[in-house]
Structure 1
């Protein structure tokens, strides 16, 4: 080809390109994203609702959507999508699925990333030469949340070796419970959508749905079998988060298991527990023979516990009774304030020998002092790091199966202002709260030095002994 002709052709192409670029122009109008999901699973289309008003009626306009990963300073035409061709309209609205495939964005998408989106109205298409939106133009954002909620839960305590899906209950009123989090194992600065549903499924009457927290919470589902209940009964949960993520396998508590006669019998009760927040735990454990009330028929759910009483209750759960307790203090468990004639002596000595409870220093056990919330969870932590002799502590329970920070991290997390790093109860509090065994007293406090009530203790023990599968 003649060199002169070639140069002329180059000039023509350049001029046409310049004309094409110059022909693109922003169109006046008020474009806006009216609805955009806050969270999105990885590499799925983004469903966006849009509206535009005040455009000139004449001519053909193109509504364009732009995306970029935060904190990019500019938009890229490679990430532009044509939403609509508008002819003869001053106002319009609709919905659009922004397809990430074919954009630069799809290659950089990863869990926790934030993406920004905006709209422009132009005389040209994305394939042409549209006017890039300003760098500070952001009409909506979305965060990639590909994190499936983590969940663990507990069946009512039982000595049965049956699989939890074939596990019957001891009496007609019981609690199935679970803890779940959408940010399990993630950094504090990573934002995720949080639970929106427990995905409960049951083949019978269901209690009101419990509240769901933004990022993590506890399901407490109390059920009472009516005396007329019969046939098979199933309950399971399948938690889902705000980005519509859910695990592949639901958490099954009971699967097509026929109701047995003992499950319709009323649980043991006391004259002062009806309607109490801890009633279900008190009555269920009393039915199992793990706790007792007083001679006058009361339980005293709001009364306090002593350290000697706690030693007794933990060793009953460990399968001991008065006939199997030591008659004298084992080596290393001689306390000057525990005499062989004391009713609690054998229980204290056994709790010490098992490594569940220690003295308070100076050769003292302090048996009559009140048990605190920090001490309760510390005892449970000791149980989790020893080998229980038997009973309910030696089952496939929360305290004996999950409560071991060297294997699995707790599901729930919190920063308590009253739990100092290095305190003897610091790690036990993390475990107890994290597995749903012990409640916080507020969003920021655990109150570890507060005496535990008998009702609170019953709830903690019920949860700690709950079966997992």
Structure 2
């Protein structure tokens, strides 16, 4: 579903919402979506879906005849005193779901039939975050279950990301539905933990193989590649930046050769605050886990999913 944001609003809210909950506002129910209700939940579809929903023992169940990575549902759940983070209940355990907290309620975006539940987040303390500027973003994503540490007390803030890890982070963050992919001969669908994540992103045009038949899951991600894939993800979820100026002048001395898709996505991410205002972007350097955590958190915030 399309979400239109004022640039100034994004930059103001981002700094506040990472540390403080958004203040509750009067709830106005949209009338132009197909929707259904339970006692504490309302579900919307912009795609004419037939929706059934139920809530029992703190579990919110949603089913629809149309739901996939391009036709999601928007789920409004009123907290009524409940606390914790919202997650999906799966047979194998709990998984993240993309949502924003609006004080008295949360608004989740789901790309598959789901059972949702508020759970108390795991208490995490990563010792290597003490002197980093990205600690608040990492803690926020870790609390939601989107990102995990190398060990219980070490995040690995300066470690690089592999293509498989990057794929999993994007799918978890946006709660995309995993899809199998048979195109890449170096991904074993039966044994790999990341095959469904790669398949979801590949089907949306967000990530490509290193060749038509190989993915190279252990290859590292550069800063330029991260920008491209985050930008494509915003396209996939129909994000629109209001008053976007295609003549935005980037401050990076090493971005003067950027053109086409790379230039467009760099301008968007810079405008929403996902890129630091440094002299150089260093597009060919491998991105670190800490750097990407900030980019991802800001991008989720802009897309209304954090």
1:343 counterpart = 2:193: yes
Which runs of no fewer than 5 residues in structure 2 stay unpaired? 1-6, 16-20, 26-100, 105-117
For residues 359-398 of structure 1, the aligned pairs below 5 Å read: 359-387=209-237
Q: 1:271, 1:298 within 8 Å by CA — same for their partners in 2? A: yes
1:438 counterpart = 2:290: no
**Map of 1:110 onto structure 2:** none
Q: 2:171, 2:178 within 8 Å by CA — same for their partners in 1? A: no
For residues 255-334 of structure 1, the aligned pairs below 5 Å read: 268-320=124-176, 325-326=178-179, 328-329=180-181, 334=183
1:455 to 287, 290, 303: 290
Q: 1:413, 1:433 within 8 Å by CA — same for their partners in 2? A: no
Question: In structure 2, what is the Cα distance between the partners aligned to 1:423 and 1:346?
Answer: 29
Distance 1:267 1:281, change over 3 A: farther
Question: In structure 1, what is the Cα distance between the partners aligned to 2:153 and 2:289?
Answer: 15
Distance 1:367 1:151, change over 3 A: same
Tell me how far 1:437 sits from its aligned partner: 1.0
Distance 1:269 1:423, change over 3 A: farther
Would you say how many aligned residue pairs link Structure 1 and Structure 2?
200
Question: In structure 1, what is the Cα distance between the partners aligned to 2:166 and 2:297?
Answer: 14
Tell me how far 1:296 sits from its aligned partner: 4.6
For residues 385-424 of structure 1, the aligned pairs below 5 Å read: 385-387=235-237, 400-402=239-241, 408-409=244-245, 413-419=249-255, 420-422=257-259
Question: In structure 2, what is the Cα distance between the partners aligned to 1:468 and 1:429?
Answer: 16
Tell me how far 1:164 sits from its aligned partner: 5.4
Which whole-Å deviations, capped at 9, do the CAs of 1:362-414 have from their partners, x for residues lacking one?
A: 422222111111111111111121237xxxxxxxxxxx342x8xx62379632
Could you tell me the TM-score, scaled by structure 1's length?
A: 0.38
Which whole-Å deviations, capped at 9, do the CAs of 1:22-61 have from their partners, x for residues lacking one?
A: xxxxxxxxxxxxxxxxxxxxxxxxxxxxxxxxxxxxxxxx
More helix by share: 2
**Map of 1:58 onto structure 2:** none
Tell me how far 1:421 sits from its aligned partner: 3.5
Deviates more, 1:285-294 or 1:410-419: 410-419
- Runs of at least 4 residues off by over 6 Å: none
2:263 to 420, 426, 446: 426
1:166 to 8, 11, 24: 24
Could you tell me the TM-score, scaled by structure 2's length?
A: 0.56
> Match of 1:447, SS?
coil
Q: 1:358, 1:365 within 8 Å by CA — same for their partners in 2? A: yes
Question: In structure 2, what is the Cα distance between the partners aligned to 1:296 and 1:288?
Answer: 15
1:151 counterpart = 2:8: yes
Q: 2:223, 2:282 within 8 Å by CA — same for their partners in 1? A: yes
Tell me how far 1:451 sits from its aligned partner: 0.7
For residues 127-206 of structure 1, the aligned pairs below 5 Å read: 151-154=8-11, 155=13, 165-166=23-24
CA RMSD, Structure 1 to Structure 2 (Å): 3.5
Question: In structure 2, what is the Cα distance between the partners aligned to 1:434 and 1:467?
Answer: 10
Question: In structure 1, what is the Cα distance between the partners aligned to 2:234 and 2:203?
Answer: 15
Q: 1:156, 1:466 within 8 Å by CA — same for their partners in 2? A: yes
Distance 1:288 1:401, change over 3 A: farther
Tell me how far 1:454 sits from its aligned partner: 0.3
Which whole-Å deviations, capped at 9, do the CAs of 1:61-100 have from their partners, x for residues lacking one?
A: xxxxxxxxxxxxxxxxxxxxxxxxxxxxxxxxxxxxxxxx
Tell me how far 1:156 sits from its aligned partner: 5.3
The one of the two structures with greater contact order (alpha-carbon pairs below 8 A, sep at least 6) is 2
